[in-house]
Structure 1
Amino acid sequence: MNDVAPNGSTPTAHSRALRDPAPTRRPLMLCLSHLRWGFVYQRPQHVMSRLAQSYDVLFFEEPLFADHVEPQLLTSQPTQGVTVLVPQLPAGVPHERVIALQRELLDAYLAEHRHDELLLWYLTPMSLAFTDHLQARVTIFDCMDELSAFMGAPPELIERERQLLARADVVFTGGHSLWEAKRHQHANAHAMPSSVDIAHFAQARELLPDPTDQATIGHPRLGFFGVIDERFDIQLVDELARQRPQWQIVLIGPVVKIDPQTLPRRANIHYLGGKQYSDLPRYLAGWEVALMPFAINASTRFISPTKTPEYLAGGRPVVSTPITDVINDYGDSGVVSIADTPAAFIAAVEHALGAEARDSVLAQADAALNGMSWDKTCAAMKEQIECLR
């Protein structure tokens, strides 16, 4: 956990006297998240920023802990219609007290900012511990991933998910394979795969200036952007770099939940750290091939990587390990190659670097992306919610 307030945060003391304003007319969408708004711009930010056109969105994050502080909410407004709430709690507080303080802070905020109608959107079942008393017109479980399979998942998560599935009015899943698993657990489950902002990433098809930290890296470049964690196939990347030292591997994203010392270190592997979402097309424009070197393990069994359509919108051929949703959604596209061994991965990259592949990649990418957009996905989500209101 970080112990620093997000940029632009303003503390709201729990002890502040509550006002009694008239309720607002727009419904309140309370999104309970295990991911921070400012971490990596992905599905929650895309969805909530669009739903904010119809609802007042509160994005409630996990607590920050600091020494010698009073319990309070840190608030910020990263985009129009979205307010981020982060509980700041004293370090060393017992777990039961952490739950109670989150409940108290949230209840106080809701009492001060009254709405006629409350909608609950859960990204993590763990938030049920301090929200199970709230009465919502509609309860939504957006099951992005199989969180219980991730490193460090709390042991009670499976039971919390069972409880949430019993309470939820509708369940969205981050991909089709996860929907196949959840549709047997909920009668109103819908596959809502993560989509893409095509116009944003299509900038990478133009001749863009290289970012400073990438400009000195040679070609050909093979690139990856995303979180580097237990889903990342360290051995595959190391072998790729070892066998093809002339290829430059550019890795963009934060390293979390794994020891950075375990990552491969070679002259042709370049770790550039996390980048702003707005800057990603400039990096992508300088790559010849985009990579998805995911390990095949429990944490990747149900993933539906958002970066697949983002890479394609940028006009780059993709080479991926055999992730089920990637195979099913893009395996026949002609622009996404699936490789299950280091040798097959190298062969797929060599093919993608070929002149013939470059000539056809844009048309194949456009065909694979036909009809996709975050606007369309969010409209389908909103339709389901409105049917339940």
Structure 2
Amino acid sequence: MSHRSAPGDKPLLLCFSHLRWGFVTQRPQHLLRRAAAQYHVVYWEEPLLDDHVEPRLDQFPQGDSDVTVVVPKLPHGMDEAAFEATQRQLLKDFLGGEQPAVTWFYTPMALGFADEVQGRITVYDCMDELSGFLGAPPTLLPREAELFRRADLVFTGGRSLYEAKRERHRSVHCFPSSIDTAHFSRARAEQPMPPDQAPIPRPQLGFFGVVDERMNLDLLRQVAALRPDWHFVMIGPVVKIDPETLPRPHNIHWLGGKHYNELPAYLAGWDAGFMPFALNEATRFISPTKTPEYLAAGVPPVSTPITDVVRPWGEDGLVEIAGSAEEAAAALDRAAAHRRDPAWLARVDETLRHQSWDKTWAEMQSLIQQAAAQQGHA
């Protein structure tokens, strides 16, 4: 099975990612759907393992854009050398001798099998400090060092990451989480309440996102105990932690994962947003995409003191910052009052007016074109 571009086709952007395309909508989907206006985007996921499968690639064209998701299927039981050698051969067969115009990495681990790909421009979009995540492989940091040597451009997903990476490469550029304002602003209008949220009493304080080692479950439990008449609506898949450890008092409601298109309807019923992030290695450099999404929805958020939330959102008075349960309870009171404050909403709108994923992608594409021109590949 191979990929070959016929004459006149868009150039190939080949992206290697540790994130499933269909898991939750975040930075890769926002950027690469926009990239698909100029490129045919191939999104290469980590393998899925099966007891009874011959090595193969499954391809899933995305009907809403010129993106094809590619998923290697491999048998269980391979050692690391065979695991990477098999992916290298699948990739070689897929490309059929073609080399991408742009090779885009979200994970340095892909270098274990993609080291022979010679894209004209190599981009490392460093959206997280993956070495701080639970279960990070020991080879990640050496492979990241190699990716820095190979890359023409390095983008970072926030200011903290930029400050940590800027001395490691000649061309590092800060692109914090951006916003699809039109999508999330739908939450400001009256709309039918989702059936699983409708029976939950008000006030409602909400969270949406992945529930994993980055969440401070003890803080959530403590705030819920301090405010037994408040109801905490928790939306998102649970990964890497035991669901049995989730606090389940009467006023914490775990509704599971929702589609991106459903989120505005849930946000419309919330009095404030809550981001109870733990302060640990996994959150040291995060720049939560949900921060501007809450704001665009008109839902005032409260966050623990994550650096890229404090700067600039907390300093600008758009997000309440709280460290302890008592501080969070008081901050949620203040945030809920902002929900009805036209002056607060006006400041939100003025700030978000200067941000969009369209703008972010346009600036990234300009840097790619400049890098290509410098190499004689205009």
Confirm or deny a common fold (TM above 0.5): yes
Compared with structure 1, are the counterparts of its residues 125 and 24 closer, same or farther at alpha carbon in structure 2 (3 Å cutoff)?
farther
The within-5 A match list for 1:185-264 is: 185-264=168-247
The aligned counterpart of 1:166 is 149
CA distance in 2, matches of 1:361, 1:287: 16
Aligned residue among 263, 271, 280 for 2:263: 280
Cα displacement string for residues 303-346 of structure 1 (whole angstroms, at most 9, x for unaligned residues): 00000000000011110110111111211333310111111111
CA distance in 1, matches of 2:69, 2:327: 44
Compared with structure 1, are the counterparts of its residues 268 and 132 closer, same or farther at alpha carbon in structure 2 (3 Å cutoff)?
same
SS in 2 for 1:139: strand
The aligned counterpart of 1:342 is 325
The aligned counterpart of 1:384 is 367
The aligned counterpart of 2:11 is 27
Aligned residue among 32, 39, 57 for 1:48: 32
SS in 2 for 1:372: coil
Cα displacement string for residues 2-31 of structure 1 (whole angstroms, at most 9, x for unaligned residues): xxxxxxxxxxxxxx5x69874554221000
Aligned residue among 284, 304, 308 for 1:325: 308
Aligned residue among 54, 77, 91 for 1:92: 77
Q: TM-score, normalised by structure 1?
A: 0.92
The aligned counterpart of 1:136 is 119
The aligned counterpart of 1:10 is none
Give the aligned residue type for 1:68.
H
Give the aligned residue type for 2:35.
L
CA distance in 1, matches of 2:48, 2:299: 39
Give the aligned residue type for 2:56.
Q
Q: CA deviation at 1:94?
A: 1.7
The aligned counterpart of 1:63 is 47
Comparing 155-164 and 25-34, the one that deviates more: 25-34
Aligned Cα RMSD in Å?
A: 1.6
SS in 2 for 1:379: helix
CA distance in 2, matches of 1:330, 1:356: 16
Q: CA deviation at 1:359?
A: 4.0
CA distance in 2, matches of 1:357, 1:269: 24
Cα displacement string for residues 200-221 of structure 1 (whole angstroms, at most 9, x for unaligned residues): 0000000111101001000000
Compared with structure 1, are the counterparts of its residues 134 and 362 closer, same or farther at alpha carbon in structure 2 (3 Å cutoff)?
same
Give the aligned residue type for 1:255.
V
CA distance in 2, matches of 1:356, 1:135: 51
Q: TM-score, normalised by structure 2?
A: 0.95
8 Å contact from structure 2 (residues 12, 101) kept in 1: yes
SS in 2 for 1:347: helix
The within-5 A match list for 1:68-147 is: 68-78=52-62, 79-111=64-96, 114=98, 117-147=100-130
CA distance in 1, matches of 2:353, 2:338: 24
Compared with structure 1, are the counterparts of its residues 21 and 359 closer, same or farther at alpha carbon in structure 2 (3 Å cutoff)?
closer
Compared with structure 1, are the counterparts of its residues 353 and 163 closer, same or farther at alpha carbon in structure 2 (3 Å cutoff)?
same
Comparing 353-362 and 130-139, the one that deviates more: 353-362
Aligned residue among 286, 293, 309 for 2:276: 293
8 Å contact from structure 1 (residues 74, 87) kept in 2: yes
The aligned counterpart of 1:11 is none
Q: Does 2:181 correspond to 1:181?
A: no
CA distance in 2, matches of 1:372, 1:180: 21
Compared with structure 1, are the counterparts of its residues 356 and 46 closer, same or farther at alpha carbon in structure 2 (3 Å cutoff)?
closer
Q: CA deviation at 1:89?
A: 0.7
8 Å contact from structure 2 (residues 211, 238) kept in 1: yes
SS in 2 for 1:322: coil
8 Å contact from structure 2 (residues 295, 348) kept in 1: yes
Compared with structure 1, are the counterparts of its residues 21 and 317 closer, same or farther at alpha carbon in structure 2 (3 Å cutoff)?
closer
SS in 2 for 1:340: coil
Cα displacement string for residues 178-197 of structure 1 (whole angstroms, at most 9, x for unaligned residues): 00000011110000111010
Q: CA deviation at 1:356?
A: 8.3
Give the aligned residue type for 2:67.
V
Gaps of at least 5 residues in structure 1 are: 1-15
Gaps of at least 5 residues in structure 2 are: 373-378
CA distance in 2, matches of 1:20, 1:198: 36
The count of residues paired between Structure 1 and Structure 2 equals 371
8 Å contact from structure 1 (residues 304, 325) kept in 2: yes
8 Å contact from structure 1 (residues 334, 364) kept in 2: no
8 Å contact from structure 2 (residues 162, 174) kept in 1: yes
Compared with structure 1, are the counterparts of its residues 339 and 102 closer, same or farther at alpha carbon in structure 2 (3 Å cutoff)?
same
SS in 2 for 1:184: helix
CA distance in 1, matches of 2:84, 2:7: 27
